[in-house]
Amino acid sequence: MLFAALGLWGGDLKCVEAQPQAAQEPAPKAAVKSEMTKEDAVRLGEEFGIVVDEVDEGIRKELGLQRTEGVAVLEVIGNSQADYAGIKVRSVIKEIDKVEVRNLIDFGKALKRAMEQCNFTVGTYEPADPGDPVGWGVNFHFVGCKRD
């Protein structure tokens, strides 16, 4: 790129070629953890009161599911928000507060947003009671504020 510069050395007009400047990197900021990891999602689940894992092929077969989507509830921690909301072991979380849950990352992001609020819902597929010919059912669990 060329630009004209007035040079006052003897009254000459000089044309000076601009040297490309090195791209300036923004000053490094403190590492901000904004991405959800599977480990973060599992920790949030435990804080909520459930031990979870992604529905993989093994869980899909064990629970008789059609697809490997959602988050399986492996354990419910007693006296937790999840326990009070009625979430059951062997259920599969498919949505949190109207946000679809396909995997642990979706689960973590949705649960984090929901837990910042006071009230939210968790949509699950749940196994039917033994002897029920209908099979799996959809259930919505209301999670309310914990009050003293």
Instruction: Identify whether 25 is part of a domain.
Output: no
DSSP 144: -
pLDDT tens readout for residues 69-119: 999 999 999 999 999 999 999 999 999 999 999 999 999 999 999 999 889
pLDDT: which is higher, 55 or 25 = 55
3-state secondary structure of 32: coil
The CATH number given to whatever domain includes residue 135 is: 2.30.42.10
Does residue 66 have a pLDDT over 80?
yes
Whether 16 is covered by a domain: the verdict is: no
Q: At what angle do helices 38-48 and 104-115 cross, to 10 degrees?
A: 50
| Contact yes or no for 96/120 (Cβ under 8 A) | yes
Does any domain span residue 26?
no
Assigned domain for 92 exists: yes
Residue 11 clears pLDDT 50, i.e. is over it: no
Rounded Cα gap, residues 107 and 99, in angstroms = 9
Residue 52 has pLDDT above 50, yes or no: yes
Name the average pLDDT for the chain: 80
Between residues 19 and 145, which one has the greater pLDDT?
145
Q: SS3 for 4? A: strand
Residue 117 resides in a domain: yes
**What range does the domain containing 44 cover?**
38-143
**Residue 31 within any structural domain of the chain:** no
23 within a domain of the structure (yes/no): no
State the total domains in the chain. 1
Q: What is the pTM of this model?
A: 0.71
Residue 132 counted as domain residue: yes
